[in-house]
A = this chain, B = another copy of it.
């Protein structure tokens, strides 16, 4: 078959088509650890296992729109930082039928994370433990609130592992950290988010300087309240130029 006419000669309606779904990694920081929201599968396959919330992509719906819909319907959330992660398409990833899944990463503030839990009580907040350092990559562990290791359904452990890898990789050159923080935050909170994602502790003065020099932070002049010690100044994320 000649390449030039490939798409035209090919009649896709004559072939079986796979189903296409989106799966969401709803990620937030709880108790200074990364955490993910899971749903429990009631039926086979993988009955009783925990899974990432997902849904099929409508024929007249873009991938981003499908992800936003799942975010709305499954987490009761109007808005969140949502970015495409990777597409998983192993033939046997779902035993029932061929399903290709476009994984999305949704970043939730602690407030949004808790709100989702309140709106959808079936969601389970699970802590993520990353056993590798730096950007080595590899499997991660998912822990229930009772600190038991959870086995995820399908290839969702792979999806979650890739989400953590991506998050670490993007952390210091992109604005993802701010998607995990409320509108006003202290430099300590920002550092806590970085440390939770990286799994390391960072040098405080160096971190402050780097962040302030970046030009993304705008001091508000307001200060946190309620602390039993000197209150820190509140900052706001302000994208540099045209973003």
Contacts and interface: CB of A to CB of B under 8 A. Distances in A.
A56 B55 CA distance: 23
A90 to B, nearest CB: 5
Contacts of A99: 12
A203 interface: no
Given A20-B17, A97-B12, A6 B54 contact: yes
Given A3-B74, A39-B3, A86 B89 contact: no
Interface residues of A, number: 49
Contacts of A4: 39-42, 122
Interface stretch (A58-66, A139-147, A226-234): A58-66
B59 A5 contact: no
Contacts of A7: 41, 54
Interface string A213-235: 00000000000000000000000
Q: How many copies does the complex hold?
A: 2
Contacts of A58: 15
A42 B8 contact: yes
A19 interface: yes
Interface of A: 2-8, 10, 12, 15-20, 39-43, 53-64, 74, 84, 86-87, 89-91, 97-100, 102, 120, 122-123, 135, 173
19 contacts: A3-B74, A3-B122, A3-B123, A4-B42, A6-B55, A8-B43, A10-B55, A12-B56, A15-B58, A17-B17, A17-B59, A18-B20, A18-B57, A20-B20, A20-B89, A61-B91, A84-B87, A87-B102, A89-B102
